Amino acid sequence: MSAPLLRVTDLRVEFPLARGLLRAVDGASFEVRPGEALGIVGESGSGKTIALRALVGLLPRTARIAGGSIEFDGVDVLGLSEDARRALRGRSIAMVFQEPMTALNPVMRVGDQIAEAPLVRLGLSRRRARVRTLELMRLVGIPDAARRADAYPHELSGGLRQRVMIAIALSANPQLILCDEPTTALDVTIQDQILKLLQSLRADLGVSLVFVSHDLAVIAQTCTRVAVMYAGQVVETGTVEAVFREPRHPYTLGLLRSVPDFDVTRERLASIPGVPPDPAAPPPGCPFHPRCPFAQADCTSGAFPLRALASDRATACIHHDVCAEDARREPVVASG
């Protein structure tokens, strides 16, 4: 098994508030191997996007990394100077954002935006950067590339704008692309096209992906491994097939059972009772225990880090056998 390209260990990100510290990411750990697609899934507010932005130093101004480590290709990212982190972000790690209309510069032609990294990071001439731009636009499936390169973002459809964002991400030949729910604002047909594009790029170019989403069907279609986040913590990891077939954390089980199954008639959809905890005042013990159907007295105190179950499977639940037994008794659904 190859060494991880990205290793995140016990990452902690905090926001100071008048009422105390808000722990947006509270000890998250995960790995990404070369050529792999890791999905990070969880409810809104679980810390997915903040964890992703911490990897490249794009946190909100008031946030701070309070602990943990981020290692990329053997390099301690948090130990780098700001200039070195900026160079890493532009050259080795790229990001595709959720809404291209807010990520793209509205007064720059899209071709100029794609050409920026080849000019600055790769040192290409303007002529070579233009050639590279058109090659990338064709690679990501933008028709009539020469004409569209001279368009402004508002002149393109949502799907084409997202393809421009992917072309920008690929423009400096990165090893890792971070995707922050890049298909959420698209209709299902265009979403499927973008997901298939990302899959083919990973297969053809060998680039690694980290794909943040709240949509389990998207993770099932796009990723090879998954990390489930709850209350700022990673509570389960493993291959998509293993985790979706037999979850070992009650939160994962609840997420999977809340996905509609159109082959089964139910009076009402399943849901997870209660609400996520206040990140500024999390409950003691396992953060999920107030909502957990399998919670016992020993779930209400102590620490609950990820525990390895196998070489590529881990859970933060100390009663994972009970969770797995329940999943076998009533099989879960991985996608709609």
pLDDT in tens, 41-50: 999 889 999 9
pLDDT per residue as tens digits for the range 270-291: 789 999 999 889 999 999 999 9
Domain-by-domain residue ranges, the chain?
Answer: 1-92+174-336
Please state the CATH superfamily assignment of the domain spanning residues 1-92+174-336 in this structure: P-loop containing nucleotide triphosphate hydrolases (3.40.50.300)
SS3 31: strand
Quick one: average pLDDT of 53-78?
94
In the prediction, which pLDDT does 336 show? 41
Task: Please tell me the pTM assigned to this model.
Answer: 0.92
Give the pLDDT confidence of 293-330 residue by residue, as tens digits.
Answer: 999 999 999 999 999 998 889 999 999 999 999 988 88
E strands, the chain, in order: 6-17, 20-32, 37-41, 64-72, 75-76, 93-96, 176-180, 208-213, 225-230, 233-239, 307-310, 313-315
The pLDDT value given to residue 138: 95
Res 264: pLDDT: 61
pLDDT one-digit tens code per residue, 184-223: 778 888 889 999 999 999 999 999 999 999 889 899 989 9
Are 42 and 215 in contact, with CB atoms under 8 Å apart?
no
Give residue 53's identity as a one-letter amino acid code: R
Q: Which residues pair with 227 in a beta bridge?
A: 40, 237
The residues, any chain, with a CB within 8 Å of residue 324's CB and separated by 6 or more, are 246, 247, 248
For residue 268, pLDDT over 80 is answered with no
Per-residue model confidence (pLDDT) at position 335: 44
CB atoms within 10 A of CB 81: 8
pLDDT value at residue 263: 61
Work out the pLDDT band at 1, boundaries 50, 70, 90: low
107 has a pLDDT exceeding 50 = yes
Q: What is the pLDDT of residues 9-35, one digit of tens each?
A: 999 999 998 888 999 999 999 999 999
CB atoms within 10 A of CB 89: 19
Ranges of H-type helices in 206-262: 216-222, 240-245, 250-257
What is the identity of the amino acid at 172? A
Provide the CA 37 distance to its chain's centre, in angstroms.
9
Report strand pairing: 233-239 vs 225-230.
Answer: antiparallel
Confidence (pLDDT) at 100: 85
Residue 90 near residue 58, CB atoms below 8 Å: no
* CA–CA gap between residue 71 and residue 82 (Å, rounded): 15
